[in-house]
Each structure stands twice: as structure tokens, then as C-alpha cells.
């Protein structure tokens, strides 16, 4: 049987990796749905009701599955990490409760209007329902990330002991909930969600444009997605650079793992490319086991905000370190994909400028093969974020080994891990199957999409054929 600490960590990692797909889809789709709905009520172009109706179906399916998997995650705090829940419950439980009362109910209430009310309410109310659905989706992220960011940079609390158990007491809600990590995590996560969905929309649309699908619908989808890609891909790279500097300041141990920096010293290099020269290099990335293409002193400059001679703390300075290989390789892959997305966006923008967006076979194939890479990159980012924090469940306050439920046995943890792995694999397969069938069936006909009011006079469409 697996050690209960390891099994609990694997189970939580598994459920998080699967769950995060669905919030990414719903959060990323929200701005697109608001835009499609706004264009629908402002113009008489029949493509926008079809865009809104089709992608709303994907949104609704993702919302339902994300709700189910999110509830399971919250139960795991009690079943597998009861000691953590006892210690941090006062502070950690608040944001999760607010997320349910404020964000989820706002989103769920207006989602009913948005999905079923097109021919029952006015255009204005219908558009507002799209805005409130999107707002609810993004508010959910606010409170989830408030809780998670506090675990990364805990503030505004006092640690006491009750019955021999450490207990966190909230003393400054502003310092705790507006902790230094939250704005970085929120902006990076939301941008990543929009970028991921833009890649998904562009990839699906590129496939149908290339294979002769519904011309008008898929060409419009590709153009709207490419605009979002041109905005979010470069922004994500620039923001990620600043975010890494913040990590170096607040979690130097994580930053050292990201760069496999074992020794403390100045002029630390930034490894642009790393290739293992032996099998040991995969599991224990060190200078002697890697072939690297590096920029001299850039890691020091990045960590300090510009000083190439700044001292960077090495992993040997800390009591316990994360699994460096997971963090190091995940970070390299994440950054590599990020630059690929920038190149893909600029490539698409250039072809659009030339008037050859739909005739570039190589571009369309590249977009199709990249359609799921955004979601994969989000997964890699969360591995860096969560694994890089180890061995701490609350940075500098509580170790993960101390947060596991004290009465949990190896047998119980192993059985539930296997059960969850099977259940979540089935759930993901069903979700993928439903989305694939929806995409294969294609968008609805214009006659099948109803409106409640006569359309406004036609206006110039900003993103059009």
C-alpha cells in the first residue's frame, strides 16, 4: 500500500489536474460569449446568434462538470487533509464559502436565463445575463485564488495552539485576503484561461476551414480567436516575467527549483534550453547532468529586478526542497509553449494582414495541432505553483506531511486514490466525448436560433469576412 501522505497528495493532484480543465473552459469562454451576445443584439448579422448558441453549449457542459468536480475537491480537505482543515479552517474556509454564496449562485442563476431565455426576455436583459454569467465565473476564480494565494504568501493571521493542535486565527482580513500573491495569480490565471480557449477555438475553426466546414461560422470563429490570441499571448509572456520576479522575492525556494539552482551565489544563469545528457538528468537536473543554452547572470537579474550580480539563494540553503525535476521541467515546458503561442499569434496576424489567413495550410495545421496546448500549459503552470511550494502546504507555517488526516491509513488512501483515478478518467472521457460530438455536429442553422425582439439596424462589424 502507498504511504497515506503520498497517496493523499497524488489524489489531490489528480483531482485538481482534471478539475482545472473545466473552470479554464468556462472562464475563458465567458468574454467570448459576452462579445457574441453583444454583437447579436447590436447587429442583424445571423452569424452571431449561431456563435453564441453553439459556444454556450460548450460553456454550459463545462460549468456543470466543473461544479461536480469542484465539490469533490472541497470534500477532500476533510477526508485527506483534516489536520490542515483544522489548522487553517477559519481563514481558508471563508473565501470558499463566499465563492459558493456569491459567485456560484450569481453564475448559476443567470446561466438559466442565458441558456433558456433568449426568446423569453428582452435583448437588454439577455445581454445582462451574459455579463452576469461571465462575472460569476470570474468571481469564482477570485475567491479560490484568494484562498490559494494565502497558502503561498500567508499574511494577516496569528498562530495559536488549541488542544495541542496549531490553529490559524484571522487578525487582519485585508492583509490576509489581499495578500501579495493574489493579484499576480489572478491576472495570470485569467489571462491563461482566455488564451487557452482562444487556442481551442482557433484550432477547431482552423480544422473546419481547412476541411471545408461551414465557411462563414468557422472563419468568424477563427478571426475572433486570433484577435484574443494576439492580445493574450504576448501579455502572458510579459506578465510571466514579472510574476517570476515576485516568486523570487517571496518564495526563493520555489524560484531556485524552477532554475535547478542548488548553490547560493551571484551571476546565476537563466537556462533557456536544457537537455539531459544522462538518465539522471531527467530525475535530478543539475549542471553536470544537463546540456544547457543559458543567458549568463539573467536569473540574478530576473530575481532582483535588473542586477546581474545579485545573489540567488540555492536549494541547499533550505530545510527540505520540492521535487526539483517536476518543477524544473514543467517550468521549461510552460515557458516554451508560451513563446510558441506568441509566434503562432504573430504568424496568424501576419497572414491575416496579407489576406491569406484562410489559405495558409501550414498555419491552419499548426493552429489545429495547438488547440489543446493552452490547457496543457495551464496544467504545467499549476504543477510549478503547487509542487514548487513543497514541502509546505502553508508556506513557512505548516508542512504537507503535518496537514494529512491523522487517522488515515495507507490502505484507505490507496483504495480511494485508485477509485478516484478510475472515476475521474471516466468523467474526463465522457466530457471529451460529449464535446467531440458537439463539435462534429457543428453549429445550429440560423433558422434554429430564436430572438425575442426585432434586430437593430445593421451596423459595421469590426471582425468580419
Q: Is the peptide bond before 391 cis (omega within 30 degrees of 0)?
A: yes
Q: What is the pLDDT of residue 454?
A: 36
What are the φ and ψ backbone dihedral angles of 39, each rounded to 5 degrees?
Answer: -65, -30
* Closest to 311 measured CA to CA, from 257, 240, 260, 261: 261
Helix (H) or strand (E) holding 290: strand 290-295
Q: What is the pLDDT of residue 453?
A: 40
Q: What is the pLDDT of residue 233?
A: 96
Q: Which letter does DSSP use for residue 451 in this model?
A: -
What are the φ and ψ backbone dihedral angles of 23, each rounded to 5 degrees?
Answer: -60, -35
As separate numbers, helices (DSSP H) first and strands (DSSP E) second, the chain gives: 17, 6
Q: What is the pLDDT of residue 428?
A: 93
How confident is the chain (465 residues) per 10-residue block, as mean pLDDT?
88 91 95 96 91 94 88 84 88 79 76 88 92 91 91 91 82 92 95 97 95 84 97 95 90 89 81 80 80 78 75 83 90 94 96 92 96 96 93 91 89 90 92 94 76 42 47
C-alpha to C-alpha distance for 134 and 111, rounded to whole angstroms: 9
CA 188 to chain centre: 8
pLDDT digits (tens, 9 = 90+) for 48-95: 999 999 999 999 999 989 888 888 888 888 888 989 988 888 888 788
Q: What is the pLDDT of residue 460?
A: 44
Cα→Cα distances 295→207, 235, 267, Å: 38, 22, 10
Q: What is the pLDDT of residue 214?
A: 62
3-state SS, the chain, equals: CCCHHHHHHHHHHHHHHHHCHHHHHHHHHHHHHHHHHHHHHHCCCCHHHHHHHHHHHHHHHHHHHHHHHHHHHHHHHHHCCHHHHHHHHHHHHHHHHHHHHHHHHHHHHHHHHHHHCCCCCCHHHHHHHHHHHHHHHHHHHHHHHHHHHHHHCCCCEEEEEECCEEEEEECCHHHHHCCCCHHHHHHHHHHHHHHHHHHHHHHHHHHHHHCCCCHHHHHHHHHHHHHHHHHHHHHHHHHHHHHHHHHHHHCHHHHHHHCCCCCCECCCCEEEEEEECCCHHHHCCCHHHEEEEEECCHHHHHHHCCCCCCCECCHHHCCCCCCHHHHHHHHHHHHHHHHHHHHHHHHHHHHHHHCCCCCCHHHHHHHHHCCCHHHHHHHHHHHHHHHCCCCEEECCCEEHHHHCCCCCCHHHHHHHHHHHHHHHHHHHHHHHHHHHHHHHHCCCCHHHCCCCCCCCCCCCCCCCC
Q: What is the pLDDT of residue 457?
A: 41
Q: Is the peptide bond before 197 cis (omega within 30 degrees of 0)?
A: no
The residue whose grid cell reads 485538481 is 16
What are the φ and ψ backbone dihedral angles of 18, each rounded to 5 degrees?
Answer: -75, -45
Q: What is the pLDDT of residue 39?
A: 94
Q: What is the pLDDT of residue 313?
A: 83
Bridge partners of 169, per DSSP, are 158
C-alpha to C-alpha distance for 55 and 442, rounded to whole angstroms: 10
pLDDT digits (tens, 9 = 90+) for 261-311: 888 888 777 777 788 888 888 888 887 778 878 777 777 877 767 778 888
Q: Which three cell numbers mark 232?
A: 493574450
Amino acid at each position: 500500500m502507498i504511504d497515506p501522505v503520498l497517496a493523499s497528495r497524488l489524489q489531490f493532484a489528480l483531482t485538481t489536474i482534471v478539475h482545472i480543465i473545466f473552470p479554464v473552459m468556462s472562464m475563458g469562454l465567458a468574454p467570448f460569449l459576452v462579445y457574441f451576445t453583444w454583437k447579436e443584439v447590436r447587429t442583424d448579422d445571423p452569424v452571431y446568434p449561431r456563435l453564441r448558441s453553439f459556444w454556450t453549449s460548450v460553456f454550459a457542459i463545462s460549468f456543470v462538470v466543473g461544479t461536480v468536480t469542484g465539490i469533490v475537491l472541497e470534500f477532500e480537505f476533510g477526508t485527506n487533509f483534516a489536520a490542515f482543515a483544522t489548522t487553517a479552517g477559519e481563514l481558508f474556509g471563508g473565501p470558499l464559502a463566499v465563492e459558493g454564496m456569491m459567485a456560484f449562485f450569481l453564475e448559476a442563476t443567470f446561466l438559466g436565463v442565458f441558456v433558456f431565455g433568449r426568446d423569453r426576455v428582452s435583448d437588454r436583459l439577455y445581454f445582462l445575463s451574459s455579463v452576469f454569467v461571465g462575472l460569476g465565473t470570474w468571481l469564482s476564480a477570485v475567491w479560490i485564488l484568494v484562498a490559494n494565494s494565502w497558502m503561498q504568501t500567508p499574511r494577516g493571521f496569528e498562530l495559536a495552539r488549541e488542544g495541542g493542535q496549531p490553529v490559524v486565527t484571522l487578525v487582519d482580513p485585508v492583509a490576509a485576503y489581499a495578500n501579495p500573491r493574489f493579484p499576480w495569480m489572478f491576472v495570470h490565471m485569467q489571462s491563461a484561461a482566455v488564451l487557452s480557449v482562444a487556442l481551442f477555438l482557433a484550432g477547431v475553426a482552423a480544422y473546419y476551414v481547412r476541411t471545408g466546414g461551414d465557411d462563414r461560422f468557422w472563419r468568424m470563429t477563427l478571426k475572433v480567436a486570433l484577435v484574443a490570441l494576439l492580445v493574450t499571448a504576448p501579455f502572458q509572456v510579459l506578465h510571466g516575467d514579472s510574476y517570476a520576479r515576485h516568486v523570487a522575492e517571496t518564495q526563493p525556494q520555489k524560484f531556485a527549483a524552477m532554475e535547478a539552482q542548488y548553490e547560493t551565489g551571484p551571476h546565476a544563469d537563466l537556462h533557456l534550453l536544457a537537455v539531459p545528457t544522462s538518465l539522471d538528468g531527467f530525475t535530478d537536473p543539475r549542471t553536470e547532468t544537463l546540456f544547457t543554452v543559458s543567458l549568463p547572470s539573467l536569473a540574478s537579474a530576473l530575481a532582483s529586478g535588473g542586477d546581474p550580480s545579485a545573489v540567488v539563494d540555492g536549494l541547499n540553503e533550505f530545510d527540505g526542497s520540492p521535487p526539483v525535476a517536476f518543477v524544473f521541467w514543467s517550468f521549461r515546458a510552460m515557458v516554451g509553449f508560451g513563446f510558441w503561442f506568441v509566434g503562432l499569434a504573430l504568424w496568424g496576424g501576419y497572414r491575416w494582414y496579407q489576406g491569406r489567413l484562410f489559405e495558409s495550410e501550414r498555419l491552419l495545421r499548426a493552429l489545429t495541432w495547438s488547440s489543446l496546448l493552452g490547457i496543457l500549459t495551464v496544467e504545467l503552470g499549476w504543477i510549478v505553483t503547487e509542487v514548487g511550494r513543497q514541502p509546505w502546504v502553508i508556506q513557512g507555517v505548516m508542512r504537507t506531511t503535518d496537514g494529512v488526516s491523522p487517522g488515515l491509513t495507507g490502505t484507505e488512501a490507496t483504495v480511494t486514490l485508485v477509485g478516484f483515478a478510475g472515476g475521474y478518467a471516466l468523467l474526463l472521457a465522457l466530457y471529451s466525448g460529449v464535446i467531440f460530438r458537439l463539435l462534429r455536429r457543428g453549429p445550429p442553422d440560423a433558422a434554429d436560433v430564436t430572438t425575442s425582439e426585432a434586430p437593430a439596424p445593421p451596423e459595421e462589424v469590426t471582425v468580419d469576412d
